[in-house]
Structure 1
């Protein structure tokens, strides 16, 4: 998008967000601009009256006229000195408001859609990078609005100076203004190409940022040091950044023509007008007072070209606005926004049914799920197993409505999930994903996020109950500040948890959601970071924890799934086997082979270590022996 189009969008945003302050800024900028030619005119008057005042004395009428002119100059100068900081302060105020509004729009465009398909789209990721040119610091945008105010002041001063300079020759201000306009057009084209290069190669900038963040963020700190990646990451960050800048520099180098053309236009026109002025002075057609007006007026007009250079800040700020608007447009698409307005309260009451579900990620050669049929009676537990890549987590994402199926339907009590309001449906869900978030917040917040309380007085007991059921209560109460402890060492008084402890916190969060009315509990590898004894202890209470709740369990530890009412095996994007633990073992299919492999591994480990108390291994080996 051209600078003019981007500027129009920015101006509409400014006027729409802060119309009153925008009018004040415009008025202050125009007034500040009018002061400059006013000072020039009065200065010329004072210089004209000075000889007579000197001859007659300051008490004479000529002297008093000179003193009046000088006093007026002082007043105008003082007003100008006062207006400039007020104008800039209003600009800072508007800039702060604008950047906050644009932040909200950027966050709304990225976080607003109920689904996550847009966040995994490379084109959208590039738009987010470009839109982030607004920056989280208000400084750049306040500078943009300040420069807009200064530009209006410079334009007003230039117009006033042009009116004064017309007294020399009618064509003199026009020549200078044409030269300034040409130089601006030439540099505008160059800067536009540079901005285009910056936007075109945003992916390089994004890769540089990723490598930088890996080097700086605590989650990657252990592996960065263990594998000696510090030098590599620093080098790759520098390399990607230089690749990005090389494209910008290449665009700049390809447009060196405007520089000599601009200099030539300024020199020729400036020389022409000054030459004319010199000739008029020598011919005694221009007096000293007029000379005192014309020379600064010429400087003001030619200085307008330098003022346009400051528009670079405006250009940079304006360039991000169209990308934020584009993000809003992209994330309004049906695939991203997700349809549905029906209430999901109390669902499922009878069953969840997946009928002919087909789904593939954008850009993937093959669908992950292809013709999947599955029925889950309400109030029962279903374990989903399968090899890596079989589509287990994808199935859970569809049930959580982070995506909609490409074909087929997910029916909740006979109602297509696409007809239900996504927010209403998610209030019926309690989910622990395998890659659950470890919030660097208090232990209280980490669990309370499962369901905001309806009654603050009941929250403490509800949180304690959820933590106790997940086996996390003792852990929390032993933290330095108990429930108020921040779960990160980067904060004073904070604490770092182990993987298994974090998993208990995440499970407590899901159980808190179940307490709050969620009717579908989804557990994706809920015990992956627990040891065998802790896992066995958890699943001994599994039926108690999920009583009356429709529960889906995804796990690779097949000793756990025996607690589920039914087990389904995914393969080739469909359900390949389904039944109880005993039925599937008796069938001798994929599930039976997977179970025996794990049983043999655990049994071998138990014999080698002599760990007779490894209940998971004992359960597995005992069950296989019975088959």
Structure 2
């Protein structure tokens, strides 16, 4: 923290020191007041010298109380600002590390993905707790040290002995807290928390009730939680004798000190001022054993090495430059123009710890034509798209665009060339305008949608025109027309006025997002299962729009539904990482191979019933 936010750290240390010293100073004033009060009474009132001194001490005490309140308020405000700034700093490093990688190794390599999952999960669990604990711990240390110094002004030996006793007591309590924290993350408690998430998540609510899991969840939660509480109870019993010894030492040492103070006071060796100072100081020294700050440090500090591990792995994979903060439109490279062909030559690829997905793949995709890719699950269809997008790198072979190897192209320019709807497209919990406009993020930025800042009417009008055109081409205009707020409707019920969409409606929005990229200059359209969540009527509508969607574009269509694929200019069949058939729909059906077999199986399910003419 000192390296990350040195100014904030220094300010917080200063405020902790002030807040720690002021109570001890107030205790000293109270002691002086306790000594001055009898003198004032003996002298005859406030008009005497002793009385005026008492009034001055009382005024100083009031000022000190106000100063304490102001200092405490400043400390809390600064601490929570520090908390949020540190959260921003740490989560920003996680985002830079994960988004800075140009490829997908961080998410697909089993070992690396565990690092990513752990860093994202832990960094998101209140990373500012480390700041809270650090600030709290320093405040308690300053309070305890100042109280010890106050006691030392009267009785140095007592200050030294009690400081050691309280520090030892704090260490013992910290050991017990760590033991309890370890048990808090036991498998029983983790499973209980997971069961709570099952019960709370809206996406799982239907299945939980349809399968009658409500009672099972409640019973299992109770059993797991009870088991976790039993483990915690056993953990508390460990080391009880040590805690008992420490408490006995605390009791005896303070009893001896207080007894000696009383005896000395009765003998006239200690004044009322000194007795008051000792009692208040001894009370303040308990802060030396306070472990609430240390507990938060223990809870928050594991985030740091996890984030460092993520950054190390991301650096080894290879990172790009993190995006620069900007309030204006981003200037991205112009899309690559595909004039002749995209060619895969002898391409091999395998995921970590997995069998090869593609083997010596050779494929040429002519510019401004449409290519359909079919094959059984695991044939390598989506992997083909990842390689083409630069999200993965071939183990062998080359991918070229008009003869230029893909790695030699500017990554930003090549990505702007691609408009894609993936099978697992994202449901962004954002307004419709942003959901579609993300396909052309430069236009969104120019319209001020990324910051909510000011933008010209021309930029906003251009964004809306692009969104409407993309929605029209994708057949999503009817979805938008039915929303209460039109383009301003947030697509999530978690927000006021927001709504959720059906699977098919979401797919149309995702397709519109790809069309927005086309409107912004993308020339390579990738449709990965574009009709997977559409009903028969919507699928037929997309079938009718296919020629318009792919006009003047280089298009790759991956689908298990032949009604869409058959419209492609050319179709290839992938099997075990190789192309086994290549031709038009009619040619492949006539050849009687794997494509014809799969087509006939699917076509049979749509045969008209001879009785009523309906599809069977």
Q: TM-score, normalised to structure 2's length?
A: 0.83
State how 1:566-605 maps to structure 2 within 5 Å: 566-603=570-607, 605=608
* Pairing partner for 1:465 from 469, 480, 484: 469
The Cα of 1:523 is off from its aligned counterpart by: 0.5
1:375 to 357, 360, 364: 364
Work out whether residues 577 and 584 of structure 1, in 8 Å CA contact, stay in contact via their aligned partners in 2.
yes
Counterpart CA distance in 2 for 1:495 and 1:352 is: 41
SS for the counterpart of 1:439 is coil
Report the secondary structure of 1:102's partner residue: helix
Is the Cα contact below 8 Å between 1:183 and 1:265 reproduced in 2?
Answer: no
Aligned equivalent of 2:253: 269
Shift of the 467–35 alpha-carbon distance from structure 1 to 2, 3 Å rule, reads closer
User: In structure 2, the residue corresponding to 1:382 is in which secondary structure?
Assistant: strand
In structure 2, relative to structure 1, the CA distance for the partners of 1:26 and 1:565 (3 Å cut) is same
Matched, 1:334 2:317: yes
Corresponding residue to 1:134 among 126, 129, 137: 126
How far the C-alpha of 1:521 sits from its partner, in A, is 0.7
Alignment check: 8 A CA contact 2:169 2:289 kept: no
Decide whether the 8 Å contact of 1:88 with 1:149 is kept in 2: no
Give the 5 Å matches for 1:168-183. Answer: 168-183=154-169
Q: SS at the partner of 1:162? A: helix
Task: Name the CA distance, whole Å, in 2 between partners of 1:486 and 1:218.
Answer: 17
Structure 1: segments with no counterpart, 5+ residues: 1-9, 618-627
Q: Deviations over 1:159-193 (max 9, x none)?
A: 33333433555432222121222222233334345
Residue in structure 2 matched with residue 219 of structure 1 by the alignment: 203
Question: Contact 2:336 / 2:413 at 8 angstroms: preserved in 1?
Answer: no
How much does 1:551 deviate?
0.9
Q: Verify: 1:189 aligned to 2:181, yes or no.
A: no
When residues 94 and 559 of structure 1 are mapped into structure 2, their CA distance, relative to the original with a 3 A threshold, is closer
Partner residue, 1:549 = 553
**What is aligned with 1:359?**
349
Mapping for residues 425-464 of structure 1, pairs under 5 Å: 425-452=414-441, 453=443, 455-464=459-468
Deviation at 1:431, TM superposition (A): 0.8
Aligned-pair RMSD on alpha carbons?
A: 3.6
Q: Structure 1 residue 306: deviation in Å?
A: 4.4
Contact kept, 8 Å, 1:355 with 1:408, in 2: the verdict is: yes
The one of 96, 101, 105 aligned to 2:89 = 101
Contact 1:35/1:80 (CA < 8 Å) preserved in 2? yes
* Equivalent position to 2:534, from 530, 545, 555: 530
- Following superposition, the deviation at residue 263 of structure 1 comes to 1.6
CA 1:106–1:504 in 2, change beyond 3 Å: closer, same or farther? same
Counterpart of 1:68 in structure 2 is: 56
SS at match of 2:339: coil
Matches of 1:232 and 1:586 in 2, distance apart? Answer: 55
Partner in structure 2 of residue 4 of structure 1: none
Output one character per residue of 1:20-78: Cα deviation in whole Å (capped at 9) or x when no partner.
Answer: x5444333332232233333333333444444432222333333333333433333333
Residues in 2 aligned to 1:489 and 1:155: alpha-carbon distance in whole angstroms: 47
* Cα gap change, 1:78 to 1:501, in 2 (>3 Å): closer
How many pairs were matched up? 587
The gaps in structure 2 that reach 5 residues or longer are 323-331, 447-458
State the alpha-carbon separation in 2 of the partners of residues 308 and 426 from structure 1. 52
**Contact 2:136/2:293 (CA < 8 Å) preserved in 1?**
no
Deviations, residues 100-122 of structure 1 (Å, cap 9, x unaligned):
33343344444443444434523
User: Aligned to 2:291, what secondary structure does the other structure show?
Assistant: helix
Structure 1 residue 462: Cα displacement: 2.8
| Deviation at residue 287 of structure 1 after TM alignment | 3.1
Aligned in 2, Cα 1:11/1:287: closer, same or farther, shift over 3 Å? same
Residues 417-432 of structure 1: pairs in structure 2 closer than 5 A: 417-432=406-421
Q: Which residue of 2 aligns with 1:625?
A: none
Q: Which position in structure 2 is the counterpart of 1:624?
A: none
* Paired position in structure 1 for 2:329: none
CA distance in 1, matches of 2:494, 2:143: 54
1:197: Cα distance to partner? 5.8
Kept in 1: contact 2:133–2:295 (CA 8 A): no
TM-score by length of 1: 0.81
Aligned match of 1:610: 613
* Partner secondary structure for residue 426 of structure 2: coil
Asked if the contact 1:343/1:420 (under 8 Å) is kept, the reply is no
Which residue matches 2:300? 317
Q: Matches of 2:370 and 2:192 in 1, distance apart?
A: 45
